[in-house]
């Protein structure tokens, strides 16, 4: 029935657009969208035509870019997926200080295009993630220091289809309220078909970073956590810690710290992260990498398929005792059958200057949060769902208590889906609610941390 109806949409779309019932792959299959049909659009007009068609016939729709959104979806039946992956162009301005990134471009294709044009652009740090999927919620990435802000701060203009099916240009002077709202809560307000973002012209020999992993045995856990807590990251440095598997065949849990220093050398890198080297890692893979390889080691982490409920917390400080408790809970879960790829993630990004001054400019909240923490339960056996949710919720609560806040200041792109909206949108929520009533009064964009 749904498919037959959609056959009447197909003739209205551009040549090359298709409609299929084959589901698109996603990073996690846990509570993933329930797609009835997928419309593979090839133009902005196709997006607008599909949105209008869905409105006229009462279908709920959802845009998909990189398919990495790990939050749980509401399980809406007969959902229409608007697959943006053909809108994947990346076009540099003649002066190379801006780039127009298509609504379906992923990180790796964007980095490749930027590298070929001798520029750097701010993207997420995993090659399979949708560039705009990440940017519209905030956008953490290695180049925050270089660009001087988060992903939302690098956006200069958006082209988007709004709930009424109109195609709009949105920037600081044209629809400024929508520009504010979409830079933090984008998926609630429109389907972005392209974004103009800042780019930094940079010669090839300067498009490098000193980067790699240090691996520690678990007895060093408290020291590692304390060192990360105390490191003052300069704007061009990033540090992550993972609890993860050492690999086949026995998947012993280990502590992995990844380091990144823009234009670093082995000497400046080791000096910047000296406290972590002093602890005595059992392995050190750091080396100098070109721009196109900064994310390569994280590729296994981008794999689509399998079940991966994630729970998160934004933290102001790290308590080694709490991180030991998290380790113990993680190790218990990770040894269950098929769960060996599960991981705990801690991200430390530099505290970019002017954070507070930027808050009124974009709706992204929680700029003062210093660390992002997440437990990624990862398995194939559906029977583990209950254990995964229990483990994830318990770990999230350990983080909340250790941080001393009533709530977790969750990053929308890392959140699980069960958090109160106040926790996701922070102080921006009241104004976002007002703007939602103005721009999406029928609540057409209702699948992603729906603002009501
Ligand atoms: C392996 C991995 C690595 C990650 N690394 C980072 C990182 O380095 N930095 C970071 O900030 N986040 C990171 N994230 C989180 C990431 O930002 C979110 O998962 C994000 O939602 C993914 O966007 P997507 O387009 O890949 O996913 P999708 O599932 O396609 O989209 C997620 C949501 O965004 C909406 N959306 C996507 N594109 C558009 C568009 N063009 N217009 C309107 N709405 C759109 C979708 O409708 C959906 O609601 C990572 C996630 C994973 C799984």
Reply yes or no on whether the pLDDT at 353 is more than 70.
no
Mean pLDDT, range 252-263, rounded to an integer: 97
Element (H, E) at 155: strand 155-162
Write the residue with the smallest CA distance to atom 51 of ligand 1: 68
The residue with tokens 């701060």 is 153
d(C-alpha 189, C-alpha 400), whole Å: 30
Distance from Cα 154 to the centre of ligand 1, integer Å: 16
Q: What does the alpha-carbon distance between residue 63 and residue 66 come to, in Å, rounded to a whole number?
A: 10
Cα–Cα distance for residue pair 166/136, rounded to 1 Å:
19
CB-CB contact of 192 with 130 (8 Å) = no
C-alpha 219 to ligand 1 mean position (Å) = 35
pLDDT at 159 over 60: yes
pLDDT tens for residues 133-154? 999 999 999 999 998 889 999 9
Q: Is the CB of 67 under 6 A from ligand 1?
A: yes
User: What is the model's pLDDT at position 328?
Assistant: 98
Report the distance separating Cα 80 and Cα 248, nearest Å.
Answer: 39
Site to substitute for ligand 1 among 133, 139, 414, most atoms within 8 A of C-beta: 133
Q: Is 132 in the pocket of ligand 1 (CB under 6 A)?
A: yes
Q: Do the beta carbons of residue 244 and residue 254 sit within 8 Å?
A: yes
Does ligand 1 come within 6 angstroms of the Cβ of 68?
yes
pLDDT at 77 over 70: yes
Confidence of residue 358 (pLDDT cuts 50, 70, 90): low
Distance between CA atoms of residues 58 and 93, nearest Å = 40
Three-state secondary-structure class, residue 62? strand
Radius of gyration in angstroms for the set of CA atoms belonging to the chain, rounded to a whole number: 21
Alpha carbon nearest to ligand 1 atom 19, residue: 69
How many Cα atoms are found within 13 Å in the side-chain-facing hemisphere of 348?
Answer: 26
Share of the chain above pLDDT 90, in %: 91
pLDDT at 355: 53
33 ligand 1 Cβ < 6 A: no
Domains in the chain: ranges and CATH: 2-83 (3.30.43.10), 90-202 (3.30.465.10), 205-422 (3.40.462.20)
To the nearest whole number, what is the mean pLDDT of the chain?
Answer: 95
**pLDDT tens for residues 186-204?**
999 999 999 999 999 999 9
Per-residue pLDDT at 152: 95
């Amino acid at each position: 029935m749904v498919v037959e109806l959609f056959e009447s949409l197909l003739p209205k779309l551009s040549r090359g657009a298709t409609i299929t019932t084959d589901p698109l792959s996603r990073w996690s299959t846990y509570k993933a969208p329930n797609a009835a049909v997928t419309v593979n659009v090839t133009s902005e007009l196709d997006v607008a035509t599909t949105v209008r068609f869905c409105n006229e016939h009462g279908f709920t729709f959802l845009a998909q870019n990189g398919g990495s959104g790990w939050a749980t979806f509401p399980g809406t039946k007969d959902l229409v997926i608007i697959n943006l992956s053909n809108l994947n162009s990346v076009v540099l301005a003649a002066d190379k200080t801006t780039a127009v990134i298509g609504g379906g471009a992923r990180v790796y294709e964007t980095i490749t295009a930027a590298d070929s044009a001798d520029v750097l652009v701010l993207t997420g740090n995993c090659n399979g993630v949708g560039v705009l999927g990440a940017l519209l919620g905030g956008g953490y990435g290695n180049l925050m220091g270089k660009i001087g802000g988060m992903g939302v701060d690098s956006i200069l203009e958006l082209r988007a289809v709004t709930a009424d099916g109109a195609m709009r240009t949105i920037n600081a002077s044209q629809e400024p309220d929508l520009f504010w709202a979409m830079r933090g809560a984008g998926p609630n307000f429109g389907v972005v078909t392209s974004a103009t973002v800042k780019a930094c012209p940079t010669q090839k020999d300067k498009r490098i970073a000193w980067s790699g992993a240090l691996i520690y045995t678990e007895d060093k856990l408290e020291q590692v956590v304390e060192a990360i807590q105390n490191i003052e990251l300069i704007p061009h440095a990033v540090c992550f810690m993972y609890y993860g598997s050492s690999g086949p065949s026995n998947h012993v849990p280990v502590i992995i710290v990844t380091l990144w220093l823009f234009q670093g050398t082995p000497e400046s890198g080791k000096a910047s992260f000296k406290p972590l080297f002093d602890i005595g890692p059992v392995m050190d893979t750091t080396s100098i990498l070109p721009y196109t390889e900064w994310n390569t080691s994280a590729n296994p982490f981008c794999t689509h398929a399998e079940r991966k409920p994630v729970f998160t917390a934004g933290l102001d400080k790290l308590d080694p005792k709490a991180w030991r408790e998290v380790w113990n809970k993680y190790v218990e879960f990770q040894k269950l059958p098929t769960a060996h790829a599960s991981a705990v993630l801690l991200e430390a990004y530099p505290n970019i200057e002017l954070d507070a001054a930027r808050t009124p400019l974009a709706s992204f909240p929680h700029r003062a949060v210093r660390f992002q923490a997440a437990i990624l339960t990862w398995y194939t056996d559906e029977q583990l769902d209950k254990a995964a949710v229990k483990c994830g919720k318990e770990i999230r609560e350990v983080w909340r208590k250790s941080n001393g806040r009533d709530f977790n200041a969750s990053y929308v792109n890392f959140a699980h889906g069960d958090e109160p909206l106040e926790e996701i949108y922070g102080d921006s929520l009241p104004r976002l609610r007002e703007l939602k009533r103005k721009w999406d009064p029928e609540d057409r964009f209702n699948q992603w941390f729906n603002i009501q």
